[in-house]
Chains A and B, each alone.
Chain A
């Protein structure tokens, strides 16, 4: 990845990223409570890693935080006056049936970026994520790793204040995982709040600033990373770290 250039839309690193607050949030479907009720405050620098076993409600938590789903109880709030700019990278990247560069210019067009600057921003982002060579390749014939990098580049051009990543590396090989993690760090350095789910302990150790541990639809703890990996507070997290099979 190339050196750090300040893009046109970049939020300044001097301004702390907006804090996310879950206030007694719960989500139920057909009378079954899938998540919560839970309350927590993400105001530390992060990156925040949401951890827990499969089906614990990690993805659901991310979708509620991003606004893809509305909580059936409680509310999701942000510090500051308005909802921050946000983006999300999915486990399976959702790319349009167009060229790589057109995927980026489309996202910029949707966000009302003037036509003149779109193409330049798009090519800058492609270069940053090592995709210049395939800028005109249809996005959906790219390899899995390239597709995920393109999804990250699409998030990058939008200069989000908050970036959600839902198991972004679970289908990738080690080289591609490395590229995605490097990109996550770059977002973090740019001052973007990172909220990412993973069930890979090693990845969490490499990236986490703080950990939100979820199991059985409940948020068990929210702890700074070192403390979490050394001595997790909740019984569930202790079992998880110890390698037991937690539900």
Chain B
């Protein structure tokens, strides 16, 4: 107990002094996760809207697949990306394995189904309400897509935050494809695992606090957005 209290003090002083190694790890974590979520949004939101708008063979199967992939275990995503990017893999020539780029790809794989599946639900709900008015206005399906995505903007932001929460909190995928290399691919979650294993509890705790703080910040953001939506759009 005595030792843990000590560790807590050290963790706090690391945080308050903006310790360089801690700062670097936090910054890389944010960079990787934010980039991954943005890429996943650019791909996932139009995909979700398209599945909501068009009827095509296999649509039901696609919805089930997207919903199921929301729960994709990070280590499986990591393994898939590892196999793709490893020297012998189809994309081995890119030389991305054990770089931040590989971590971004792995997190995109994890987050994309969440963004696509949840935005599909939201857009379909809106479409049910708007459909007759859209047809009355003479809108084609491709023209409906931007209107629906814009009108779902508050819900999409909340979905985006959920995606960011998943990306920043997972450890399995980035560990496998990033390799937890100090100064290159070490992020918060992987270093918490490593430092705890090494017995360096202060750094692990300091990182844990930052991570917790970030998750709380994201949830507060999601809550505020939800409130704002209710007030702004009735």
Contact = CB atoms under 8 A, between A and B. Distances in A.
B133 A110 contact: no
A98 interface: yes
B121 to A, nearest CB: 16
B147 interface: yes
B132 interface: yes
Given A96-B147, A138-B232, A138-B234, A111 B138 contact: yes
Contact of A110 (B129, B130, B143): B143
Given A68-B132, A138-B232, A140-B234, A110 B151 contact: no
A128 interface: no
A220 interface: no
A94 B151 contact: no
Contact of A88 (B136, B147, B233): B136
Given A97-B233, A138-B233, A140-B234, A68 B151 contact: no
Given A96-B147, A106-B147, A110-B143, A140 B233 contact: yes
A94 B232 contact: no
Interface string A92-115: 001011100000001100110000
Interface size class of A (residues with CB under 8 A): 20 to 34
B65 interface: no
Contacts of B1: none
Nearest to B148: A96
Contacts of B147: 96, 106, 110
Contacts of A98: 150-151
A63 B136 CA distance: 9
Given A94-B130, A141-B234, A110 B136 contact: no
A107 B233 contact: no
B21 to A, nearest CB: 46
Contact of A94 (B133, B138, B139): B133
B132 A110 contact: no
A63 B135 CA distance: 11
21 contacts: A86-B136, A88-B132, A88-B133, A88-B136, A90-B132, A90-B133, A94-B130, A94-B132, A96-B147, A96-B151, A97-B233, A98-B150, A98-B151, A110-B137, A110-B139, A110-B143, A110-B147, A138-B233, A138-B234, A141-B234, A158-B137
Interface of A: 63, 66-68, 86-88, 90, 94, 96-98, 106-107, 110-111, 138, 140-141, 158
Given A90-B132, A140-B234, 7 more contacts: A68-B132, A87-B136, A94-B132, A96-B130, A110-B147, A138-B234, A158-B137
Interface of B: 129-130, 132-133, 135-139, 143, 147, 150-151, 232-234
A-B pairs, 3 with minimum CB distance = A94-B133, A140-B234, A141-B234
